[in-house]
Structure 1
Amino acid sequence: MGEKSLLIFDFDGTLIDSVPDLAEATNMMLSQLGKPTYPESEVRNWVGNGSRKLVERALTASSQVPPTQQQISDAQEVFFEAYEQTSGTKTVAYAGVDKGLKQLQQAGYILALVTNKPIRFVPKLLQSFGWQDLFAEVLGGDSLAEKKPDPAPLHYVCGQLRVNPNKAVMIGDSKNDILAGQNAGIDTLGLSYGYNYGQDIRDFNPTQAFDDFASLVAYLLPAND
């Protein structure tokens, strides 16, 4: 991938596995609402399209009827409070990510983070992994009016860092990441191990796809040797 200088990463499902914390917060929410709770393996299937969708899927499963928009909004507030308490305690980085990010930065790439997670939860997580100085730009799902798969966050990052979009790459595990990159006209690299609601990331035609982070790093590094 010679000629590329900016790597824009997704967060959950790409760099970190946050499902254990998300599942705990989901079950805390359901308990507070007097609804049954679910095993982590079940909640894992609900993750990948943002917290509102996660809350909606949990409410639908627990009452067998689709919730109203107001019920989702009310429950989401309960979920956010619960996640604030648990966030970061069980979240882990995927294999090879910590080392790989540092290698990419040392090789001269500019790193950015664009997640659909609300920005208020991001700094604490970055801190917990010691990544607070790795990313030149960090955007959450509510940092701008639009979020992935809209191209706006990617265009914004390129603009802030003064990088031509054709020198940028979007890296993620879900269709939102790949579509955002395609909508922004930039190359996309997919990772198959994250949260894509049961769909193979390759179905969305990323420029390339990888099954582990080390393979992605190896693909990006030779051009800089």
Structure 2
Amino acid sequence: MRLLWDFDGTLFDTYPAYTDVLYEVLSGSSPKPAILARLKVSFTHAVGHYGLSEEQIKRVFELENELHPAQTPPFPDVEQVVRLAELNVIMTHKPRKEVAAILQHYGWAGYFAEIVAGDDGYPKKPDPASYRYLHDKYRIDLAIGDREIDILPAKAIGMRTCLFQNSAPGADYYLTDYAAFQTTIVRH
């Protein structure tokens, strides 16, 4: 199976660290579960909800850049899924340098045929341009993400979709963990 992966919250459990960063920038004025819920929609949604200033946004990015890859670990069992796949690509809004640092830290750089990162010039999701590029080049079978915004571009170009730890309507498959993925989707 040829898989298109989102990065944050799909391959790597980054949201706890990002929640801590935003909590710090907000000086603890919002509870962490509320921050996490906003981030799971999108960073732009969280920025708008909390009315972050340009200075606060800059500070968020500074703190995120200071995170060590050990603070953003892969989800359990996802490496086995990546290994079983015929091909893996990543489409993320995260800058390439940050993606590369995390992949290098975990020894995963060789698992991915290509990465389309946030600084590659493609429009942000849900625009399907980056998905169309990857699908045309690699004939992707399934797009996997943790947010509705991750599957909308795939749906727009007729790809099958999977939501990870999210039950929003519209996906073809739903997973709560990757152990189940190995026995259900990859074998189809």
Alignment TM-score > 0.5, same fold: yes
Equivalent in 63, 69, 80 of residue 82 of structure 1: 63
Deviation of residue 87 (structure 1)? 4.5
Deviation of residue 29 (structure 1)? 2.6
SS class of match (2:101):
helix
Equivalent in 79, 91, 95 of residue 114 of structure 1: 91
Tell me how many residue pairs correspond in the alignment. Answer: 188
Partner Cα distance (1:150, 1:128) in 2:
30
Alignment correspondent of 1:136? 113
Structure 1 gaps, min length 5: 61-66, 195-199
Alignment correspondent of 1:9? 5
2:2–2:141 CA contact under 8 A, matched in 1: yes
Counterpart code for 1:46: R
The within-5 A match list for 1:1-225 is: 5-30=1-26, 35-57=27-49, 60=50, 67=51, 72-104=53-85, 109-159=86-136, 162-164=137-139, 167-191=140-164, 193=165, 200-201=167-168, 203=169, 205-223=170-188
Partner Cα distance (2:30, 2:109) in 1:
33
Q: What percentage of residue pairs aligned between the two structures are identical?
A: 24
Q: 1:121 to 1:54 in 2, by over 3 A?
A: farther
2:21–2:63 CA contact under 8 A, matched in 1: yes
Partner Cα distance (1:144, 1:92) in 2:
27
Decide which structure has the larger Cα Rg and report it.
1
Counterpart code for 1:45: A
1:190–1:206 CA contact under 8 A, matched in 2: yes
Partner Cα distance (1:74, 1:120) in 2:
22
Q: 1:158 to 1:11 in 2, by over 3 A?
A: same
Partner Cα distance (2:83, 2:12) in 1:
15
Q: 1:139 to 1:177 in 2, by over 3 A?
A: same
The CA RMSD measured in Å over matched residues stands at 2.2
Output one character per residue of 1:74-124: Cα deviation in whole Å (capped at 9) or x when no partner.
3211110111012524222212112221122xxxx1100112223332111
Partner Cα distance (1:211, 1:180) in 2:
22
2:23–2:35 CA contact under 8 A, matched in 1: no
SS class of match (2:138):
coil
Partner Cα distance (2:144, 2:6) in 1:
6
Counterpart code for 2:123: E
What is the TM-score when the length of structure 2 is the normalising length? 0.86
Deviation of residue 144 (structure 1)? 2.5
Q: 1:122 to 1:49 in 2, by over 3 A?
A: farther
